[in-house]
Amino acid sequence: MPKLAKRIAIALAVVAVLFSVASMAADHMISESTFQRQEIPERSLVAHYADVQEYYDRVPVTFMSGDTRLQGYIYGPENNDQGLVVFAHGIWSWHQDYMTMICWLVDHGWKVFAYDATGCGESEGDSTKSFAQSAYDLDAALTYVESDPDLAAMPKVLLGHSWGGFAVAAELGFDHDVQAVVTMSGFQSPLVIMYDSADSLMGPLGFTQRPFLWIENKMRLGKDSNINAVDAINGCDVPVLVVHGTADEVVSYDSAGIIAARDRITNPHVEYLVFDQENRNGHNTYFYETEAKEYFDQLGERAAEIDETYQGDRRELELDRLLEESDIVYSNTMNPELMEPIDAFYREALGL
């Protein structure tokens, strides 16, 4: 009997070791895939600068984030001097995926500084590195702004989505002078979004990955592994507007999102904007005006049909024709129920 117990104990130990090794390897592989470089898409149903350049000027700037050179642009005419919106985009994208949002802000008197984060779009970098890299890049962007006399003289507000939504809130824990922050679909911390993603992928078994995800996060971030947007919000009195959709499948409204921690947020200047209308309450579906969103969805369905029906050169030809015949800018028309409250929030914070 003792020999049997010993054999069982050894077998269980072997299984535990194999499970641990396999889990760490799998989690690392998933992380590497998550943080792979994001190239500029060959074609897109999302409006980019080429679609609006006739009407909007911009000034290119470059700056360093660590050892990586980032590409950014200053949007807006010289007389847009009421404030500078520093914009941080989401992961798996680049700043031009938010072009109509940037244009809306310019049309309403704001100057906008938007850039491609590490490993994205026009910026250097073999990967996006980590869930915290967006905060490091924003830190570098604000340092650049502070070094430019004209930009430094302007009131500065922050706007970010998802990965960038985390960044603009976490930035409140850095040493920069900002007057207001709007975080859209932002997550609380790198570790929380990793845990939540595991739960979404594995269901009740997601908790088994937490020790290994903790190690992966620690290996990537070191001393910054506990960086937390909620702590940063609570550590200041800067006005913050938290925006989220109730059916967000990327950054969960009830668990990973900053908004899920609203009972723990003590900053008295935090406000919330929640989108709960069906089909307008996802990760970014609340961005767009109702009819424009319907048109965008129709274009997406047509693109999917082309992708399934044709191959090779014919497929490329049909996709190009779809883009040429479609009003891409209209399909990306911003939702006034999102943009007007953001504009009003900034104006109140700046006393405009």
Q: What is the pLDDT of residues 293-349, one digit of tens each?
A: 999 999 999 999 999 999 999 999 999 999 999 999 999 999 999 999 999 999 999
Sorted by sequence, the CB contacts under 8 Å of residue 16 that are 6+ apart come out as none
Q: What local confidence, expressed as pLDDT, does residue 221 receive?
A: 80
- Give residue-wise pLDDT tens across range 224-244: 889 999 999 999 999 999 999
How far apart, in Å, are the Cα atoms of 144 and each of 60, 69, 112, 135, 137? Answer: 13, 12, 14, 14, 11
- Distance (Å, whole) CA 225 – CA 240: 23
Nearest to 35 by CA among 90, 91, 87, 89: 91
Nearest to 166 by CA among 145, 136, 209, 195: 136
- Give residue-wise pLDDT tens across range 211-220: 667 677 787 8
* Phi and psi at residue 165, to the nearest 5°: -65, -40
**What is the crossing angle of helices 163-170 and 133-147, to 10°?**
60
Q: How many separate helices (H) and strands (E) can be counted in the chain?
A: 13, 8
* Mean pLDDT of all residues in 125-134: 96
**pLDDT reading at 171 higher than 70:** yes
- Distance (Å, whole) CA 129 – CA 72: 19
* Phi and psi at residue 242, to the nearest 5°: -100, 120
Helix (H, G, I), strand (E, B) or coil at 86: strand
**pLDDT reading at 20 higher than 60:** no
pTM of the model: 0.92
Q: What local confidence, expressed as pLDDT, does residue 206 receive?
A: 57
**pLDDT reading at 12 higher than 50:** no
Q: What is the DSSP letter of 263?
A: G
The domain defined by 46-189+227-287+337-350 folds into: Rossmann fold (3.40.50)
The residues spanned by each domain of the chain are 46-189+227-287+337-350, 289-331
Sorted by sequence, the CB contacts under 8 Å of residue 83 that are 6+ apart come out as 110, 111, 154, 155, 156, 157, 179, 346, 350, 352
**pLDDT reading at 17 higher than 60:** no
- Distance (Å, whole) CA 338 – CA 244: 10
**What is the crossing angle of helices 290-309 and 312-325, to 10°?**
160
